[in-house]
Amino acid sequence: MQETRQDRVHICEVVARDGFQNEAVFVETADKIALIDALSETGVAKIEATAFVSPKAVPALRDAAQVMAGIRRAPGVIYSALVPNLRGALAALEAGADELNLVFSASDSHNLANVRMTSTESLRAFEGIFGLARAHGKPVAVTIATSFGCPFEGPVEARRVLDFYRRCLAMGASGMALADTTGMGNPAQVERLVDAALALSPATPLGLHFHNTRGVGLANALAAYKAGARRFDAALGGIGGCPFAPGATGNICTEDTVHMFEEMGVSTGTNLSLLVSLSRRLPGLIGHETPGQVAKAGRSCDLHPAPTR
């Protein structure tokens, strides 16, 4: 496992969307903008800045348009927005999103619970969004939620996930992500599904979206990396908990993920010290401690004075 610097990993920072979406408190618009602007300086490849969703369903992100309009665009960083439907897509494009991220679930029951459509119905509804984005000259990525398991149905067949993957590519997806929405995946399964997805379309940018709900998030990221994945969603501080698991951790933590890869000799192109300092400001925004470890323990290279006797 001697990695070369060419095998670099790209981080998509999702704290402002998947992180804040799950918080009880509303993070002020100016604070969101300041955080995203600071994240723009850390070297992350992409920032999922917000979601254009129903303000009733997700009040935490009701300021999506103001956030997207207020942030400073750093060269080389992609500012994406999650959109659930045509209305959201239009709003995101008007607000200047660089990329739309469409999400649907591989399991019907989860998709029905979220958007009152089966998975296939969601895919059909995406066609209009693809058309709209094409007209605006903007790329559309698709995230397949519950790819590694559904909290209502249990295991989701890899064949079903891969069939959806293929159909999204046929519709014109510029990139794909496989999401372990409630942290049910395991490294062996991750390796198999990443293998299969990359075999299906080696040139498609493939992101992995892991949650650390059962403690195995970084092990899954490692397994995905070993299978060839190079793009990972992660949230500063590891926030973004699961509604089914009060007290459980959320997304894999950006600074912990970066620390693991950099320690392995795999570049992430990011400034870890800066990420850690931003992470340490999060409790002030959300009112509670975060699950991230490196922000508490420091980097492995941060040494301690030996006790004198």
Quick one: which H or E segment has residue 81?
strand 78-83
Among 33, 142, 278, 294, indicate the residue that binds a second copy (CB under 8 A): 294
Closest to 14 measured CA to CA, from 273, 265, 290, 237: 237
Q: Which of 150, 242, 253, 301 is catalytic?
A: 242
Please enumerate in sequence order all residues whose Cβ is within 8 A of that of 300, keeping only pairs 6 or more positions apart, or say none.
259, 263
Among 3, 7, 41, 121, indicate the residue that binds a second copy (CB under 8 A): 3
Measured in whole angstroms, how far is the alpha carbon of residue 70 from the centre of its chain?
21
Task: Characterise 298 by phi-psi region: left (phi > 0), alpha (psi -120 to 50), beta (else).
Answer: left
Q: Does 305 bind a second copy (CB under 8 A)?
A: yes
Q: Report the chain's C-alpha Rg in angstroms.
A: 18
Q: Does 22 bind a second copy (CB under 8 A)?
A: no
| In the complex, minimum distance from the CB of residue 98 to a second copy, in angstroms, rounded to a whole number | 30
Report d(CA 168, CA 278) in Å as an integer: 35
Q: Does 117 bind a second copy (CB under 8 A)?
A: no
Token pair belonging to 161: 């996930």
Token pair belonging to 202: 């080696």
Q: Does 135 bind a second copy (CB under 8 A)?
A: no
Q: How many residues bind a second copy (CB under 8 A)?
A: 63
Among 43, 88, 149, 207, indicate the residue that binds a second copy (CB under 8 A): 149
User: 208 with 176: CB under 8 angstroms?
Assistant: no
Closest CB to a second copy among residues 114, 174: 114
Query: Among this protein's residues, is 242 annotated catalytic?
Result: yes
Q: Interface residues with a second copy (CB under 8 A)? A: 1-3, 109-110, 112-113, 116, 149, 151-154, 183-189, 191-192, 212-216, 218-219, 221-223, 238, 242, 244-249, 253, 256, 259-260, 263-265, 289, 292-294, 296-301, 303-307, 309
